[in-house]
Amino acid sequence: MQNEEGFTVRKIAVLNQKGGVGKTTTVANVAAALAIKGQRVIAVDLDPQSHLTIHLGVDPDSFENGAYEVLTKSASIADSLVNVRENLWVLGANIDLVGAESELVSEVGRETIFHEAVETISDDYDYLIIDCPPSLGLLSLNALAAVDEVVIPLQPHFLALQGLGQLLQTVTLVSKRINPSLKISAILLCMFDSRATLSSEVKADIQNFIGNSRGTNCPWADADLIPIHVRRNVKLAEAPSYGKTIFEYEPDCNGSRDYAAIADFLHDPASFKKNDETVEIEEHVKEPAEEIMDDAVIETITEEDITTPLTELVIETEEETQQKIVTEENTQSTETSEQPKYQIKEVSPTEIIAPRAEEAKEDSH
């Protein structure tokens, strides 16, 4: 699979099993920024909550084929893409995806179905970017098996690093057992508040952690802490309910500037570092980052883990962090007469893993 310049299509999963860290916002706006730059981008919604689909202006009830049909092998990706903007396509999610995990559980090779589907897409796309659900279940495993790169968004609050070890362990196991080309390419701090000391502390912890793994063969040895942080910006929280990207909703705001720069960085980190002198490039400090390393349990991965059946790799969904739209004190709401097109409804993790049979039963009452 090569694009017109002869490069392989870049396949990226945006993953963090915590909800509300900025995955969907990042996929929608990075995909849009790349498309505006002329890259041909497929944005994949693998979250049954359909937030990415809605964010890009597609009604989850409006399409015939989407991620569910691809995962259940009843449609190809090519037949399921919705063209949403110039150079931008979405593989949509709807409520059907709720049942995919339990339906696939007895399938042989269930964790590589999406990988196989991705292999069939034509070579004229430049990027495929997956918005993962807030869990490390079968949907996220399918994403990890299909991509070469993982980008981890983190919200730098006091629990930011909790769960990171489990995430890193999952990526390590997938890279050892299913997808040897899998790497964590970047960590992105979202909803960054430069006035909060905690944000800076989390940043320093991550820098230490990445610095420590340089030269090792773990999947994050070459990861970048993206030198642009996504600042808290209320426009980013408002845009999704209008089905608009930040570049359409409010092109002149911090959210817009941050995501445009992040897309530039992801597209070409080397020239970004060289050309943009205004961006502070972080030094990777060589110091132990005890807490993260403890959590990462990297040393505790044994031969046994590597040969245990994949079912044991599926880690139960943690209680999803309550999503909060935090309004920036000094940012005024956009005055607009336009009404939000959709209400984004929160779906609890238990709903996400509820078997379809139960859904059907309830429907018939």
Ligand X SMILES: Nc1ncnc2c1ncn2[C@@H]1O[C@H](COP(=O)(O)OP(=O)(O)O)[C@@H](O)[C@H]1O
Which residues sit at the interface with Mg ion, rule CB under 5 A?
A: 23-24, 51
240 binding partner (options ligand X, Mg ion, none; Cβ < 5 to 8 Å by kind): ligand X
Q: How far apart are CA 134 and CA 18, in angstroms?
A: 5
Decide whether 9 or 44 has the Cβ nearer to ligand X.
Answer: 44
Min separation Cβ 362 and ligand X, Å: 25
Helix, strand, or coil (residue 116) = helix
To the nearest 10°, the Cα dihedral for 257, 44, 157, 247?
20
Q: What are the residues binding ligand X (CB under 6 A)?
A: 19-25, 51, 134, 190-191, 230, 232-234, 236-237, 240, 323, 325
237 binding partner (options Mg ion, ligand X, none; Cβ < 5 to 8 Å by kind): ligand X
Decide whether 50 or 172 has the Cβ nearer to ligand X.
Answer: 50
Decide whether 24 or 199 has the Cβ nearer to ligand X.
Answer: 24
Decide whether 22 or 40 has the Cβ nearer to Mg ion.
Answer: 22
Min separation Cβ 47 and Mg ion, Å: 5
The answer to whether residues 16 and 170 touch, using CB atoms and an 8 Å cutoff, is: no
191 binding partner (options Mg ion, ligand X, none; Cβ < 5 to 8 Å by kind): ligand X
CA-closest candidate to residue 101, choices 291, 365, 356, 289: 356
155 binding partner (options Mg ion, ligand X, none; Cβ < 5 to 8 Å by kind): none
Min separation Cβ 30 and ligand X, Å: 11
Q: What is the DSSP string of 196-232?
A: -HHHHHHHHHHHHHHHHHTTS-STTTT-EE-SS--B-
Helix, strand, or coil (residue 253) = coil
Min separation Cβ 138 and ligand X, Å: 18
314 binding partner (options ligand X, Mg ion, none; Cβ < 5 to 8 Å by kind): none
- Written as six digits, the tokens of 286 are 């060589």
25 binding partner (options Mg ion, ligand X, none; Cβ < 5 to 8 Å by kind): ligand X
Quickly tell me which residue has 């989850």 as its tokens: 60
Element (H, E) at 305: helix 303-307
Decide whether 58 or 191 has the Cβ nearer to ligand X.
Answer: 191
Min separation Cβ 230 and ligand X, Å: 4
Min separation Cβ 229 and ligand X, Å: 9
CA-closest candidate to residue 177, choices 316, 322, 307, 342: 307
Min separation Cβ 85 and Mg ion, Å: 19
Q: How far apart are CA 44 and CA 136, in angstroms?
A: 17
Helices 97-104, 138-146: axis angle to 10 degrees equals: 90
Decide whether 322 or 364 has the Cβ nearer to ligand X.
Answer: 322
70 binding partner (options Mg ion, ligand X, none; Cβ < 5 to 8 Å by kind): none
**66-91 per-residue burial string, b: 16 or more CB within 10 A, e: under 16:** bbbbbbbeebebeebbbebbebbbbb
Min separation Cβ 51 and Mg ion, Å: 5
Decide whether 24 or 80 has the Cβ nearer to Mg ion.
Answer: 24
**CA 110 vs CA 75, 115, 151, 178: distances in Å:** 16, 10, 23, 12
325 binding partner (options ligand X, Mg ion, none; Cβ < 5 to 8 Å by kind): ligand X
Decide whether 16 or 207 has the Cβ nearer to Mg ion.
Answer: 16
